[in-house]
């Protein structure tokens, strides 16, 4: 995989040329910024900013005003190659909070089709409705604990909205141990691009290390290939990064979410 070519396609298709993520969101291109604005349960944030040392602070202040007036928190998705070089410090000075660094990883989807098999007692259940979205939220709680209850509710709402508004742009699955959800994973498809995004995959502690996450990657890769997507892209945590590297994912860059809460 040609790193420079894939990174250029990533920038062009997913940052500069980003499309809407549902009926309740809109992509705006203004003042050198590409941003997404939606409701409180949508993802809101800045995907790209054409700024330098002289324009960065006014542009940051303009985004803070925009989202504060909209009454929503938002994320400035800062990539390791973004400019100016001190953009992270400028965001912190403006009141943003840094969340854990993530690694942007990409693989050719058709290299990930081999099914490793599921452990005994586990089955994959497609998510197609509100009941399935609720199971995804329960799986998230099983993986990350009660401290993530608000995020679990947000996830269920987001998944259900996508299933309702744009069912062709999402495919979600829950790994079930009997009647208990132990892992939830989804793919978000970006029409007109080469990329399908993998999200979720957190697994309940007692089921980790048994191949469930890997099985969900293969399951989602098969769906992506069937729909004509070339690449799978992941914003990987430190936990999933080594697993993805073993599967053949390559690192494009790192990204840090800077969050502003009005």
Round to whole Å and give the CA distance between 227 and 222: 9
Contact call for residues 140 and 184 (beta carbons, < 8 A): yes
Per-residue pLDDT in tens (0 to 9) along the chain, 262 residues: 899 999 999 999 999 999 877 677 899 999 999 999 998 888 999 999 999 999 999 999 999 999 999 999 999 999 999 999 999 999 999 999 999 999 999 999 999 998 888 999 999 999 999 999 999 999 999 998 866 777 788 888 889 988 998 899 999 999 999 999 999 999 999 999 999 999 999 999 999 999 999 999 999 999 999 999 999 999 999 988 999 999 999 999 999 999 999 9
Quickly name the fold that domain 108-252 has.
Aminopeptidase (3.40.630)
Contact call for residues 104 and 234 (beta carbons, < 8 A): yes
Q: Which residue has the tokens 């410090």?
A: 89
- State whether residue 190 is helix, strand or coil: coil
User: What are the boundaries of each domain within the chain?
Assistant: 3-104, 108-252
Round to whole Å and give the CA distance between 186 and 169: 10
pTM: 0.91
């Amino acid at each position: 995989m040609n790193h420079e070519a894939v990174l250029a396609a990533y920038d062009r298709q997913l940052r500069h040329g980003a499309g809407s993520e549902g009926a309740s969101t809109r992509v705006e291109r203004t003042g050198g910024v590409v941003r997404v604005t939606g409701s409180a349960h949508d993802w809101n944030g800045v995907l790209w900013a054409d700024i330098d040392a002289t324009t960065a602070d006014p542009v940051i202040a303009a985004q803070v005003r925009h989202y504060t007036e909209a009454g929503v928190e938002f994320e400035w998705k800062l990539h390791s190659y973004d400019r100016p070089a001190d953009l992270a410090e400028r965001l912190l000075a403006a009141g943003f909070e840094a969340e854990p660094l993530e690694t942007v990883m990409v693989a050719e989807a058709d290299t990930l089709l081999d099914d490793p098999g599921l452990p005994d007692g586990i089955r994959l259940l497609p998510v197609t409705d509100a009941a399935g979205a609720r199971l995804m939220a329960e799986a998230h709680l099983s993986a990350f604990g009660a401290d993530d209850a608000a995020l679990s509710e947000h996830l269920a709402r987001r998944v259900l909205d996508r299933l309702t508004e744009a069912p062709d742009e999402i495919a979600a699955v829950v790994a079930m141990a009997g009647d208990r959800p132990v892992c939830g994973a989804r793919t978000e498809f970006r029409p007109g691009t080469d990329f399908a995004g993998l999200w979720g995959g957190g697994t309940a502690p007692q089921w980790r290390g048994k191949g469930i996450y890997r099985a969900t990657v293969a399951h989602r890769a098969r769906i992506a290939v069937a729909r004509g997507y070339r690449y799978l892209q992941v914003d990987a945590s430190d936990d999933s990064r080594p697993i993805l590297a073993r599967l053949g994912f390559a690192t494009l860059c790192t990204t840090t979410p800077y969050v502003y809460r009005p």
